Amino acid sequence: MKRYMAGRIPQDTIDQILNETDIVDVVSRYVRLEKKGGSLFGLCPFHSEKTPSFSVSPAKRIFYCFGCHKGGNAIKFISEIEHVPFREAVQTLADAAGIEIRLDEDESYRQRREAEQRLRQVLLESARFFYRTLSVQEGNEAKRYLLGRGISVPTQRAFGLGYAPDAWDRLTLHLREKGIAETDAIAAGVCQRASNGRLIDVFRNRLMIPIFDFLGQIVAFGGRAMGEEKAKYINSKETELYTKGRHLFAMNLAKKQKDEALIVTEGYFDAISLHAAGLTTAVALLGTAMSSRQAQLLAQMDRPVTLCLDADEAGINASLRALELLRQKQVFASVVTVPEFKDPDLYIRKNGASRFKALLETKMDELDFKLRLIEKQARQDDGELDVFRYQREATDLLAAEENAVMRELKAELVARVLHASPAAVQEEVARKRRNEAETAVETPRPKPRASAAQVADETYVLLALSNNPDLQKTKGFALEEEDFLEEGFRPFFESMQGAMAAKRYSYQYLLSLVEEAAPELADALLAAAIKSEQADGGTVMYRRAVAALKVRRFEREKHALLEAIEQAQDEEARKPLQNLLKEASEQYNTWRQKRI
């Protein structure tokens, strides 16, 4: 079972919330369900389908989709459907059930949490101050600037834009009047000490852009200079709430459009301009290059991503890095290059929103983008193509592609550039793949996965026990750790035995035990629980499943002993192994009979 450290939500509270939550009622707010047997089915809200494969089991309080394999309890459903963290999903269901969450917390956690709350208050009060200042006469220049860039008043409001006045300590005095401690104002990154010790504002005469986290809470600010300052943009320093690379600008707005591709840009105003143009799924990186954490945030949204970064060399390199990170996270990503101009904001201001929307239709997948770069780099000063360089680099790229269909499709593109036949390009790619395979260094083989039959029997036995714990008392059918595979449920056997002894073993316990460490096993559990309501019962079926596990166990032992006997140096070393082989063979034959 998951153990929650100090400051986390206690497991018994989570169990209470799940027990008092009707998962059918929760899911029905998003999915139309129809009863079929012991479960309910509907169209999956997580992927597009025409035939219902999404199911809910009221008895086990779980959901599972046989199409995309998403599944879990009511907390997981809220977390996935609303794209919110585990903690917020728990709080949502707790509020609905009227359950108060009391955190287990130590003193250090309490102090840290209170400090974060004070920082949030500083940032919120600062945002209000900047927002009000933009709306009065003092902010007229900033308002004219925004309107000149096509940022309407409704868009300004949606982003909470503001203005930091051209004065040393206007925000400082305002925060002091609100009773905010100087140490907190400094820690939040909006005030600083001058060389004379005086407390002054960090942002002065700047258009202020609040940075919100995924949940819509302010974590930092960006400030664009309205005068001739050397630094055109300055950002809040990193704090307990804000770490560069952990957030995506405008994600709190973009996440609301649940069925559209996300457009990833580089700067604040790229994203803001796209929103103003009606493209409200735009987000910005808050930096030149995408971080692994930002890629993970995009992956959690479970949507395609269109990269629209700057068209200069740094932007191209950033696109290549982003494509790599997103591929690792299994996110489908494409690239749009903005002609003539560096960034989307400039393009929209010059050509209008409709032209940019048309530009999005020219997006390229990763291979197309890389092939175009290879061609561009292979062009000489006079525009002539260095055929040998292009042919070498393009076929190297295709040889590294694992998808045979994609290799064939892209071979046609390469062939057109080279004025060659697609067959010739494919032959060269195949030759390079053969050479690579022949010269590849042999790597250790990964552990074999458990067979589908083994997993099915392990899953059945554990589900049956979760519904009827007395089955473990079936005479002659006691389970042992060796009955399970290391790639299966064996790593969790000791914990399960302890839970059974303490009479705490249940389906929810079993699912929570494996879902983080072994997602594939969790999927198998969810699918089996939905499919086989017969797991609730029968001693005969339980015995057959246990016997099947035992047969495979002693078959494995027989093979291992035979190998050991072959490798033994002499008869003296073989004899004890042969005795063990005899015992394993007898057990194997005995359990085969019980299995029938």
Domain harbouring 128, CATH code:
3.90.980.10
Count how many domains the chain has: 4
pLDDT of residue 536: 46
Does the pLDDT at position 19 exceed 50?
yes
Which of 97, 118, 135 is the last residue before a domain boundary? 97
Interval 494-519: pLDDT, tens: 888 877 877 778 777 787 777 767 77
Examine the domain organization and report whether 75 and 183 are in the same domain: no
Examine the domain organization and report whether 382 and 421 are in the same domain: yes
Examine the domain organization and report whether 112 and 163 are in the same domain: yes
The answer to whether position 428 is within a domain reads yes
Examine the domain organization and report whether 62 and 125 are in the same domain: no
Tell me the HSE value of 579 on the side-chain side, using a 13 A CA sphere.
5
Sign of the CA dihedral with 244 first, then 250, 253, and 254 last: negative
Crossing angle (nearest 10°) for helices 452-467 and 507-514: 140
Cα 53 to Cα 23, 45, 75, 174, 527: the distances in Å are 17, 10, 20, 57, 11
Examine the domain organization and report whether 27 and 160 are in the same domain: no
Examine the domain organization and report whether 457 and 587 are in the same domain: yes
The answer to whether position 377 is within a domain reads yes
Examine the domain organization and report whether 457 and 562 are in the same domain: yes
Tell me which residue range forms the domain holding 486.
452-595
Q: Taking residues 395-417, report their average pLDDT.
A: 91
Interval 85-139: pLDDT, tens: 888 889 889 988 888 887 766 566 678 778 889 999 999 999 999 999 999 999 9
Which of 184, 209, 243 is the last residue before a domain boundary? 243
Which of 38, 65, 97 is the last residue before a domain boundary? 97
The answer to whether position 340 is within a domain reads no
Examine the domain organization and report whether 73 and 110 are in the same domain: no
Examine the domain organization and report whether 375 and 461 are in the same domain: no
Mean pLDDT of the chain, nearest integer: 85
65 with 44: CB under 8 angstroms? yes
CB atoms within 10 A of CB 503: 8
DSSP run (H or E) holding 28: helix 23-28
Examine the domain organization and report whether 188 and 155 are in the same domain: yes
Examine the domain organization and report whether 396 and 531 are in the same domain: no
Instruction: Label each residue of 534-562 as H, E or C.
Output: HHHCCHHHHHHHHHHHHHHHHHHHHHHHH
C-alpha closest to that of 304 among 258, 261, 366: 261
Does the pLDDT at position 543 exceed 90?
no
Assign residue 24 the CATH number of its domain.
Answer: 3.90.580.10
Specify the higher pLDDT residue, 361 or 289.
Answer: 361
Examine the domain organization and report whether 71 and 131 are in the same domain: no
Choose the weakest-confidence range: 69-83, 512-526, 566-580.
512-526
C-alpha closest to that of 174 among 197, 203, 209, 145: 203
pTM above 0.75, yes or no: no
Round the CA-based radius of gyration of the chain to a whole number and report it. Answer: 31
The answer to whether position 65 is within a domain reads yes
201 with 171: CB under 8 angstroms? yes
